[in-house]
Amino acid sequence: MKKLKIGICGWGNVATGLFNTIENNNKFIKSNGNLEIEIVVIGARRDNPKCDPGAVKIERDIFDVIDHDIDVVVELIGGVDVARDLILKSINKKKHVVTANKAVLFHHGDEIFKEANSNGVKILFESSVCAGTPIIKLLTEELSANKVTKIAGMLNGTSNFILSNMEEGSDFKPTLELAQKEGYAEPDPTFDIEGMDAAHKIGILSSLAFGTPLPPDDFYIEGISKIEKIDFKYAKDMGFTIKHLAVSKLNQDKIELRAHPVLIKKDSYLANLKSVRNGIEVETDLLGTLHIAGSGAGQESTASGVISDLVNLANSNDNILELDSNRNIELVDFMSLSFQYYFYIESNITPEAVEKITSIFAKKKIALESIAHKEDLKENISHIIVITDLFLEREIQYLYENILNLESVNKIRSIRIESN
């Protein structure tokens, strides 16, 4: 049986979940993973009333963890700057690192992998994307004979929870409050609802699958905070629903990287994953399209990913992926991409509103697949719903400016339509 001596840095949700899981599932880790894990030390700047570390040594300065006789530093503090420092110092002391921290990998991944390679140690990070749902190992090991052409994922559980509830008729704000009450959203939810969390995760997956840099140099990121309940109604009428999708896609010899809300067909695989579930589609040449779904957050799910990294490390015979940190595949300029669009335009009820709006699209030679208007006589407003053909992203600003300039128009928003 292999043995690993570990030091855990951080003593929050994931760290205490890991501590408990190593105790409770010890039997499976030994029999299925052929591994005995010894927690030698915990870096905790304060006690956590939810978990008693027993006789394990506690260091109040997390950097002191590195000085112990351990094989692996498990970084579970989150954040970017201190985590980067901690990881680099661990690497320099020839400790392997397991981390669940997508933010530090997104911002400093190339630097970290380069340091790890030159120091002959490994960085493992299964739980940084979709917690324990095994996507990293799938991409780096199981699919190694495949040419991956696209990864599209719903990678943020909070966003999916909110959108799933809005699909059932709830408004954004109370749904966000419910997500916070249920513990699915942070007190400050900005990172989740403005798309950054999903962006970090697709950045990591894109780097693994295609070799895009970490941090990426060009990346379109938009969250879900502008979507309204009524958009679901109009989307549904046309056979769509709304999800937040993070995409990395081979586009000729460059990579398209983006994270934003989309209309997707209601009968598609991702459309049917509800609540906090995460889901990913991977398009490959040999296996076709693979679907993977699972819990993307939570103490136990994340602990499962961290332990799988430890098992992998202990049993690997040195064949764990070494990421080439000199990757320089170019990203596609987002403005040069073309999308089909859904527009919701709110205007006063006037006979010429639709005609004027149509002429603005026509000026840019943007064909319309459909244009419908529904009058709300009580409010004296008209909802004008436009579905366009494909047009270049760089035209969107012109459309917004000119449509909003029309005297009758009060509001406009739009969502890209994801083609299959």
Binding of residue 155 to ligand NAP (CB under 6 A)? no
* Residue 294 is a binding residue for ligand NAP (CB under 6 A): no
What length does the chain have?
A: 420
Task: Check binding of 46 to ligand NAP (CB under 6 A).
Answer: yes
Regarding 161 and contact with ligand NAP (CB under 6 A), the answer is: no
Q: Smallest gap, in angstroms, from Cβ of residue 77 to ligand NAP?
A: 4
Which of the ranges 8-16, 64-72, 88-96, 264-272 carries the binding residues for ligand NAP, by CB under 6 A?
Answer: 8-16
Does position 304 bind ligand NAP by CB under 6 A? no
Smallest separation (angstroms) from ligand NAP to the CB of 336: 33
Stretch that binds ligand NAP, among 13-21, 107-115, 276-284, 309-317 (CB under 6 A): 13-21
Under the criterion CB under 6 A, does residue 77 sit at the interface with ligand NAP?
yes
Residue choice 2, 5, 12, 350 for contact with ligand NAP (CB under 6 A): 12
Q: Does 312 bind ligand NAP (CB under 6 A)?
A: no
90: contact with ligand NAP by CB under 6 A: no
Q: 114 catalytic, yes or no? A: no
- Name the one range near ligand NAP by CB under 6 A: 9-17, 181-189, 331-339, 407-415: 9-17
Q: By CB under 6 A, is residue 156 in contact with ligand NAP?
A: no
Bridge partners (DSSP) of residue 385 are 344, 372
Of 10 and 279, CB closest to ligand NAP? 10
Contact 166, 232 (CB under 8 A): yes
Is residue 179 within the footprint of ligand NAP (CB under 6 A)? Answer: no
- Residue 312 near residue 328, CB atoms below 8 Å: no
Nearer to ligand NAP, 101 or 159 (CB): 101
Q: Residues 79, 120, 174, 183: which binds ligand NAP (CB under 6 A)? A: 79
Burial of 382 (0-12, 13-18, 19+ CB in 10 A): buried
Q: Does 216 bind ligand NAP (CB under 6 A)?
A: no
Exactly one of 102, 122, 201, 243 is catalytic; which is it? 201
Could you write out the three-class secondary structure of the chain?
CEEEEEEEECCCHHHHHHHHHHHHCHHHHHHHHCEEEEEEEEECCCCCCCCCCCCCEEECCHHHHHHCCCCEEEECCCCCHHHHHHHHHHHHCCCEEEECCHHHHHHHHHHHHHHHHHHCCCEECHHHCCCCCCCHHHHHHHCCCCCEEEEEEECCHHHHHHHHHHHCCCCHHHHHHHHHHCCCCCCCCHHHHCCHHHHHHHHHHHHHHHCCCCCCCCCEECCCCCCCHHHHHHHHHCCEEEEEEEEEEEECCEEEEEEEEEEEECCCCHHHCCCCEEEEEEEECCCCEEEEEEECCCHHHHHHHHHHHHHHHHCCCCCCCCCCCCCCCCECCHHHCEEEEEEEEEEECCCCHHHHHHHHHHHCCCCEEEEEEEEECCCCEEEEEEEECCEEHHHHHHHHHHHHHCCCEEEEEEEEECCC
Of 174, 173, 138, 171, which is closest to residue 153 (Cα–Cα)? 138
Listed ranges 94-102, 180-188, 213-221, 280-288: which one lies at the site for ligand NAP (CB under 6 A): 94-102
The answer to whether residue 302 forms part of the interface with ligand NAP (CB under 6 A) is: yes
Is 261 among the residues that bind ligand NAP (CB under 6 A)?
A: no
* Shortest distance, position 263 Cβ to ligand NAP, whole Å: 28
Q: Does position 183 bind ligand NAP by CB under 6 A?
A: no
- Nearer to ligand NAP by Cβ, of 100 and 199: the residue is 100
131 near ligand NAP, judged by CB under 6 A: yes
Distance (Å, whole) CA 196 – CA 317: 36
Nearer CB in complex with ligand NAP: 80/230: 80
Residue 101 binds ligand NAP, judged by CB under 6 A: yes
Residue with nearest beta carbon to ligand NAP = 12
Compute how many residues bind ligand NAP; rule: CB under 6 A: 23
Cβ nearer to ligand NAP, comparing 103 with 381:
103
Q: Contact residues for ligand NAP (CB under 6 A)?
A: 10-15, 44-46, 62, 76-79, 82, 100-102, 127, 131, 297-298, 302
- Which positions are annotated as active-site residues? 201
